[in-house]
Amino acid sequence: MNALFLLSSLVAVAATVMVITRRNAVHALLYLVVSLLAAAVIMLLLGAAFVAALEVIIYAGAIMVLFVFVIMMIGSQRVAFPPGAWIGPSVLGAILLGELGWVLARGTPSAAVAVEVGPREVGMALFGPYVLGAEIAALLLLAGLVGAFHLGRRRK
């Protein structure tokens, strides 16, 4: 289990370094998706399957689609990919996929979880004591979308 955690951590660090060093924003987004998927695999290894599913659905899915729309609205980046642009994210993603297959073939991760947190408890927390944080995050995403719209707007 420690070796799998170390491998996922190395993939996450490598992908994050590639996000920072890429000049093309679309290439950086590919590596960011791999980094978020590596974080989801780490959460799965720690026994938090629900958090891993939320990581994939919310961050690697919805937020990345929002980022792609913002890049397309601003129009400052080429969306075409040269043939070598997929090699790095594909290799890192294949490592994560192999690791995930290994974990699922062996059964559930053997992490000692004191309290199981399900969707109901997460919903109660988000609309209870953390409602202000959830609303602030929603407003920040809305402000980013409005700002991207104004930056990408064509003036006559």
Q: What would the pLDDT profile of 32-50 be if each residue is shown by its tens digit?
A: 889 999 998 888 888 778 8
- Asked if 34 and 4 touch (Cβ cutoff 8 Å), the reply is no
- Asked if 67 and 35 touch (Cβ cutoff 8 Å), the reply is no
- Asked if 34 and 106 touch (Cβ cutoff 8 Å), the reply is no
C-alpha dihedral (112, 118, 100, 85), degrees to nearest 10: -130
Could you tell me the pLDDT band of residue 58, with boundaries at 50, 70 and 90?
confident
Q: Is the pTM of this model over 0.85?
A: no
The answer, yes or no, to whether residue 63 has pLDDT greater than 70, is yes
Which of 1-5, 64-68, 76-80, 128-132 holds the top average pLDDT? Answer: 128-132
Q: Is the dihedral of CA 9, 14, 16, 17 positive or negative?
A: positive
Q: Give the mean pLDDT of the chain.
A: 81
Residue 112 is predicted with a pLDDT of: 47
Could you tell me the pLDDT band of residue 9, with boundaries at 50, 70 and 90?
very high
